[in-house]
């Protein structure tokens, strides 16, 4: 935040030239910090309720390190970085040694304060063990955002009895994330069993005709079950974030 701009806004409020609500609206979209290679959005938390999340795949370790350093210096609360390699994790640790690396999910969390827990639960369901990286990306994202997460893993349609043993668990959640590769049928089955929104995540797990997750994506998009919405292939983060928004809205109702 530019100090002089902030002072001017505060003076306007003090002198009655603008209301508190108008001042808040002015602050919602300011500022960002230009690092040359990145423009760090320090006010994402004010607008969206959580600081900017760092997508690390394709970024240089020194760039991620600098972004984390600037976010911490500006007082951003907990920091979440996704698709993190070991090399980038080591770079982040040079800034903050307490960075926590979730290797399966490829997520780094810098926890600086406790986030109040939402009362409701999010269920994360995976078809197979090979889907765990994406499922864990969704689960940890949701947990970092302050949600209770129930994990139900390796319950794909090849052994339907495994899923049916957890129907009660799924029905107690406010939202269900289903993660599946191969043909991606799990989302439709879960959607037909629960009266909660289902976020389907296709994964790139599968043999050649899976086409890197395209077959699962198309199956989920063509689901005959009501209440199923689909995110992009391998996008566990997106599913976890959307599920968190739904879960918080359910608490407010």
pLDDT of residue 253: 66
Residue 190 structure tokens = 């879960």
The CB density around residue 157, as the number of other CB atoms within 10 Å, is 17
Higher pLDDT, 75 or 100: 100
Q: What is the pLDDT of residues 48-65, one digit of tens each?
A: 777 788 899 999 999 999
**Which of 193, 188, 214 is closest to 202 using CA atoms?**
214
Q: What is the pLDDT of residues 141-195, one digit of tens each?
A: 999 998 999 999 999 888 888 999 999 999 999 999 999 999 889 999 999 999 9
End-to-end CA distance of the chain: 34
What is the average pLDDT across 230-245? Answer: 95
**Which of 235, 152, 238, 160 is closest to 192 using CA atoms?**
160
What is the average pLDDT across 100-117? Answer: 88
Q: What is the pLDDT of residues 111-141, one digit of tens each?
A: 877 777 888 999 999 999 999 999 999 999 9
pLDDT of residue 169: 92
Give the Å distances, CA to CA, from 202 to 105, 177, 234: 16, 11, 6
What does the alpha-carbon distance between residue 37 and residue 59 come to, in Å, rounded to a whole number? 10
pLDDT of residue 28: 66
pLDDT of residue 22: 82
- Average pLDDT of the residues of the chain: 88
Of all residues in the chain, the percent with pLDDT exceeding 90 is 59
Sorting pLDDT into bands at 50, 70 and 90, what band is 29? low
Higher pLDDT, 232 or 160: 232
Q: Is 234 left (phi over 0), alpha (psi -120 to 50) or beta?
A: left
């Amino acid at each position: 935040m530019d100090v002089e701009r902030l002072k001017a806004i505060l003076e306007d409020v003090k002198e009655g030239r603008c209301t508190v609500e108008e001042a808040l609206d002015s602050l919602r979209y300011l500022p960002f910090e230009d690092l040359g290679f990145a423009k760090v959005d320090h006010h994402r938390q004010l607008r969206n309720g959580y600081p900017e999340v760092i997508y690390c795949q394709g970024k240089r370790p020194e760039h991620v390190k600098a972004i984390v350093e600037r976010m911490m210096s500006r007082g951003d609360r907990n920091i979440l970085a996704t698709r993190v390699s070991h090399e980038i994790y080591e770079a982040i640790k040079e800034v903050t040694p307490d960075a926590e690396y979730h290797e399966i999910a490829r997520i780094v969390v810098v926890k600086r304060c406790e986030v109040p827990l939402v009362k409701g639960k999010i269920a994360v369901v995976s078809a197979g063990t090979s889907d765990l990286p994406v499922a864990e990306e969704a689960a940890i994202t949701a947990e970092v955002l302050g949600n209770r997460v129930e994990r139900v893993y390796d319950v794909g349609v090849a052994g339907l009895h495994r899923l049916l043993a957890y129907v009660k668990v799924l029905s107690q959640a406010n939202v269900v994330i289903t993660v599946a590769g191969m043909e991606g049928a799990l989302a439709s089955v879960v959607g037909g069993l629960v009266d909660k929104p289902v976020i389907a995540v296709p994964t790139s797990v599968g043999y050649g005709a899976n086409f890197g997750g395209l077959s699962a994506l198309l199956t989920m998009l063509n689901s005959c079950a009501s209440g199923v919405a689909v995110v992009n292939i391998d996008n566990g983060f997106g599913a976890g974030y959307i599920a968190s928004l739904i879960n918080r809205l359910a608490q407010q109702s």
